[in-house]
């Protein structure tokens, strides 16, 4: 399901507005270390899915999403000033797992093919502490 030129334009504008507002205007302490990855606007322009990447553990990511949801009204008002539309799409914030998945896949490939990085060697040290080395007896 591809987006039309109109929805693509709206999605890009929403991405820019939300990204700048997060950086410069939102004071909510929960909304930190967040990047707007992409935006998908529905064909009827009623909803916009805002995919975000959040640095930190699951708890921090979930807090950030809650913070963004509480800022949705403010963000929609910013979007309405930028876009000349009769109706501003309802914003849905979705945690984008792309970066996390890329790291996981990279680690799996490294483990499979024996390429180790400094980060991988550190991870292996942690495994030794968990008792995996006892199997060598």
Handedness of CA 60, 16, 28, 42 (dihedral sign): negative
Under-50 pLDDT residues of the chain: 118, 120-122, 124-137
Task: Report the number of distinct structural domains present in the chain.
Answer: 2
Predicted pLDDT of residue 117: 53
Judgement on whether residues 107 and 45 belong to the same structural domain of the protein:
no
Question: CATH number of the domain that 24 lies in?
Answer: 3.30.300.20
Predicted pLDDT of residue 130: 44
8 A C-beta contact, residue 34 and residue 53: yes
User: Tokens standing for 113?
Assistant: 């093919």
- pLDDT per position as a tens digit, 38-69: 999 999 999 999 999 998 898 999 999 999 99
Judgement on whether residues 66 and 123 belong to the same structural domain of the protein:
no
Which DSSP helix (H) or strand (E) runs through 94? strand 90-95
Judgement on whether residues 74 and 108 belong to the same structural domain of the protein:
no
Predicted TM-score (pTM) of the model is 0.71
Judgement on whether residues 10 and 68 belong to the same structural domain of the protein:
yes
């Amino acid at each position: 399901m591809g987006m039309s030129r109109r929805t693509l334009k709206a999605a890009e504008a929403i991405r820019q507005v939300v990204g700048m507002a997060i950086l410069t205007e939102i004071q909510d302490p929960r909304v930190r270390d967040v990047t707007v990855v992409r935006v998908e606007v529905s064909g009827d322009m009623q909803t916009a899915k805002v995919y975000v990447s959040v640095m930190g553990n699951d708890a921090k990511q979930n807090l950030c999403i809650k913070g963004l949801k509480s800022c949705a009204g403010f963000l929609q008002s910013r979007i309405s000033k930028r876009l000349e539309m009769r109706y501003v799409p309802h914003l849905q914030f979705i945690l984008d797992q792309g970066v996390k998945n890329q790291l996981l896949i990279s680690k799996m490939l490294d483990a499979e093919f024996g390429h180790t990085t400094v980060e991988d060697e550190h991870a292996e040290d942690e495994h030794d502490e968990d008792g995996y080395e006892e199997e060598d007896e």
